[in-house]
Structures are given as structure tokens and as C-alpha cells.
Structure 1
């Protein structure tokens, strides 16, 4: 397989997962407004923090961190490479160039969603219509994953796409945990501290993990338990450990994978040795930075092994954003 085709399939997997997670994140954040008591201020800037796009947002919208600006930036802004519309457009372009390697149904699905966002995306930005548009995106991305998994030959090309999906999901999960557990609810009053569990529930719902968590943990939602589930659980498809294991299982089907395997093992060891009770008291943000740097190095190892003749020059801060 040509390295260009392999790289395209890798990024196809990443764009599909990124679009779905971004749409779900906006949806959960919008619903969180209904769960909070009066007097509690909910900021929209954390959603931009999760994607690491603060500088670009400031260039386009200045200091206006309003709901309308953030929602437009994350859903339809074509200048933002990680917006829902930009991710769908990039995935569509990749599918157009690798039609011989992917099912026709996948092209029809992504093309229909691309046209929907172009023609009606702006109409679905206000709260009254937003959920309808976001549901269409998440449903389409889940259907895309099903079509590709069920109808695409599980050859080397499929493994590259699977690796991209797994790495992107691990990266998005750590980003959501990192930002959503710090200053999501902007309040310092003692009266509102009992509502802290709502914050942890929103973390789970941002990753479609609330029902699975309750079934698995069988205890009330709490910080350490949520972190253990989303980071260490081996059976939940959106946990970091699950995706690192899926990534490691796919690598042996590719040639010359040893460098990538070592970087994955280092991240897995970092996660398995963590004590989340202590990290919540101090150092969670710094620890998650280490995990994200490890994921960035995994991307670099894959890129050097299969896509580029020389070491990647992409900064670790922007590993998950392809321009």
C-alpha cells in the first residue's frame, strides 16, 4: 500500500471520531444548562480549550466568548480545522480519493452530511434547532463506523483507519477529562458545591459513558471512580486503556511497528500506575499533560514509520489537529 493511501485512511479514522466527539460535547454542554440551579454560571470557553484552539478563536472572534460564537466556531466555521463541518469536509475529501478502498455507502453517507452542513448548518446553530443538527451528525458518524467496519475488508488499509480512530478517541477522552474537570462550573460559593456530581455526570455523558459507568461501578458518581472508568477500564470502547489496547493489537498487522509499540507501552504504564485519589488532590492537569504528550509521541512514531521519511516536526500541542 502507498504511504499516501495509508496516511489518508489513518486520518479518515481520526476525522470521523473527532466530528462525533465534538458534536456530542456541544450537545451535552447545551443540556447541562438545564441541570444547573439558578445563579450558577456556565462558561463556553472550555469547549474551545478541549480542542486547543484558543488562539484561533481569539483571532476570529476576539474576546467575545458567547454561546453563539463558540457554537459557530465548533460546528460550522470552515477556518477552524477541527470544527464539525471541517472534519466532515476533510473526511469526505479523503473518501473521494480512496473510493477503491472503501464501501460506496460510506461515500454516500459522508457526502449527504457534508451537503446538509453546507446548506442548513447555520440554521441549526440556535438552541431551538441545535440538537436536531447535532443528532444528525452523531448518528451519521456512528453509521459510518458501522458501514466501514462491516463492509470494508479488514486488510492493512483498515488497520490504519482503525489505528487513527483509536488514537483520536484516546486523545479526545483525555482532553475532555482535562478541561471538564477544571473550572467547568465557574462558581466559588459553598452553596453550589453539592452540585459537583453534575459536573462528573457531564464528563461521562460527553463520552456517552454514563449508563456503562453505572452498570460497571454500581456506585454513586464520584471523581476517582469516573477517572478510573474512563482511563483504565479495559472493556469500555471510549476509555483510554481500551483504545491503547486496540491500537497495540492492530500494530502487529503492519510492518516495522516496534517504535510505535514502545510509545504505547509507556502511556499504558503511566495510566495503570496512577492513583486518582491523589491526583485529584493535586497534579491531575500535569499528569494528563504527560499522557497527552505520550499520545503525541505515538502519533509521531506512526508518522515516521509509515507516512514520512523524516521525523515529524509537528508540535506536541497540535498533534491531533491536521491542517
Structure 2
């Protein structure tokens, strides 16, 4: 397979998963705000920062230093093409990557992805209103899952498919760590500091739901949501497809099916997998998660770089 084709398949799967996760995240925060009492406000700053979009947002909205306006944050995360990680930017990048390799994938995949991008472009601004917001989010999530189903069921599981799996797993692991970080940073801001503990479970429940993990958490853990249990589940559960450990184990299996290209990808993966598996949830909840999540994200960045050097530029 040409390295150009492999790289486009890899990036297509990353961008598609990024669009889906961003849509899910905004959908859950939308519902969370409706559920919170008026005395409690939702903080957009931690969410923007952990998604790597804080600096860009504040540069575009200089008046937001004191408080982020909901409508501006939602537009920035969903539809602002000046934000390279917005849902629309991710859909556009996925469509552009897929366009150059259309001959290698089923025609219905291109029709689905292209149709989603065009629909969002035509209906997105209207759908930003709270009344219609979930229509936009559900359309993108459903179409992304349909595209994933087409790839899983209708594409030969050859070397090209392995690059698709590789991109999906790396992107999901990265997004999961970012959402864990956002949850720990304090998305819910009660007026009185002593009320924060009362809302901690609600905050972590929103993180689980943003990853479509709440029902599986209840099935595996069989306890009420707590920061320690939620963190342990999202980092270390070996059976849930969006947990960091599951994604990294999937990458290890995928690399074993691909032509060997040196040891750099395996070494980067081994280091990152050890960070996820050895994390002490109790200690991290007490001392703070950000540094540990940053280390995992750095490991994922090194893995991405090693894969690029080995298969796309080697």
C-alpha cells in the first residue's frame, strides 16, 4: 500500500472519531446545564483548555477572560472553522482525507461522510439554538457510528483496515484522557466551595456519559459513580472500547498485524500502556490528575510520531 493512502486512511479515522467525540461532549454538557440548579454554573474554561483550544478561543474572544459565554463556546467547539479541533473542522478534514482515497473504500462511506458535512454546513447555525442543538449533535454522532459500521462490516480487514483501526484507537485514547482531565478540572462551579463535593458525582457522571460509558460503568462497577471508580474504569478497564487501556491494547494487536518497521512504535506504546495500567486512582484523585494525563498524552503523541516516521515517511 502506498504511504500516501495509508496516511489518509489513518487521518480519516482520527478526524471522524474526533468529530464524534466533540459532538458527544457538547451534547452531554448541554444536558448537564439543564439538570443543574440555578445556583450552580457550568465552567467552560477547563473544557476549552483540556481540548487544547483555550488559547485560540480567548484570542478570538478577548472579552471572555472573566467568563465564557455559552453560545460563543458552543459555536467555537462545534462550527468555528478557525478552531482546528471543532466538530466541523474535524468533519471537513475527514472528508478531505477520504476524498483522496475514495477508490479504496465503499461508495456508501463517502456518501455518508460527505452528506454529513454538507448537512452540518447548511443547518449548523440554526441548530446551535438550544431548541435544535441536540438534532445537530445526534445527526453527527449517528452518522459517525454508521460510517464506523460500514468500515467494520464492508471493508476487507487488510493492511488499509489496520491503519483505520490504528487512527481510531490513538484518537480515542487521547480524547478519553482529555475528558478525564476536564472532569477533574472542575466543570461545575457552585457558589459555595463546600458544596463542590456534593456535585462531584454529577460531574464524573457527565464525563462517563460524554464517552457513552455510563451504562457500562454501572454494569462493570455496580456502585454509584465516584471519582476514583470512574477514573479507574476509564483508564484501566480492559473490556470497554473507549477506555485508555483497551485502546492501547488494541493498538498493540494492530501493530502485530502490520509489517515491522523498527521498534520505535512498540517502545512508545509500551511506555504509554504502562502509564495507564500503573496509575493509582486513589492517589491521583487526591493529588491531582493533570500531570499524569499530560504524561499519557505525551506518550500518545510520541506513538503518533513513531507511527508516522515508520509507515508514512520511512
Match of 2:53 in 1: 53
SS in 1 for 2:186: coil
What pairs up with 1:95-134 in 2 under 5 angstroms? 95-134=98-137
Q: Give the conservation status (yes or no) of the 8 Å contact 2:268–2:303.
A: yes
Q: Is the aligned partner of 1:180 residue 2:183?
A: yes
Matched with 1:312 is none
- Count of residues in Structure 1 that have an aligned counterpart in Structure 2: 309
**Does residue 1:255 correspond to 2:270, yes or no?**
no
**Distance in 1 (alpha carbons) for counterparts of 2:253 and 2:242:** 16
Q: 1:93 aligned to 2:96?
A: yes
Which consecutive segments of 4 or more residues in structure 1 shift more than 6 A? Answer: none
Q: Measure the CA separation in 2 of the matches of 1:165 and 1:184.
A: 26
- TM-score, normalised on structure 2? 0.95
Instruction: Tell me whether 1:78 sits opposite 2:71 in the alignment.
Output: no
- Structure 1 residues 101-140: Cα deviation after superposition (integer angstroms, max 9, x where no partner): 1111100101111111111110101111101110000000
> Does structure 2 conserve the Cα–Cα contact (< 8 Å) formed by 1:40 and 1:192?
no
Runs of 5+ unmatched residues, structure 2: none
Q: Which of 244, 247, 250 lines up with 1:246 in the alignment?
A: 250
Whole-Å Cα distance in 2 between the matches of residues 43 and 279 of structure 1?
Answer: 22
Q: Give the SS at the match of 2:223.
A: coil
User: Aligned runs of 1:298-309 on 2, under 5 Å?
Assistant: 298-309=303-314
What is the TM-score with the length of structure 1 in the denominator? Answer: 0.93
Supply the RMSD in Å over aligned alpha carbons: 1.2
Which structure 2 residues correspond to residues 141-180 of structure 1 after superposition, within 5 A? 141-180=144-183
Please name the residue that 1:203 is paired with: 207
Q: How many Å separate the matches in 2 of 1:246 and 1:150?
A: 18
CA contact (8 A) 2:188 2:199 kept: no
| Worse-superposed segment, 8-17 or 247-256 | 247-256
SS at match of 1:73: helix
Out of 257, 263, 266, the residue aligned to residue 271 of structure 2 is: 266
The CA distance in 2 between the partners of 1:42 and 1:2, in whole Å, is 47
In structure 1, runs of 5+ residues without a counterpart are 310-323
Tell me how far apart the structure 2 counterparts of residues 143 and 175 of structure 1 sit (CA, whole Å): 25
Residue 210 of structure 2 corresponds to residue 218 of structure 1 = no
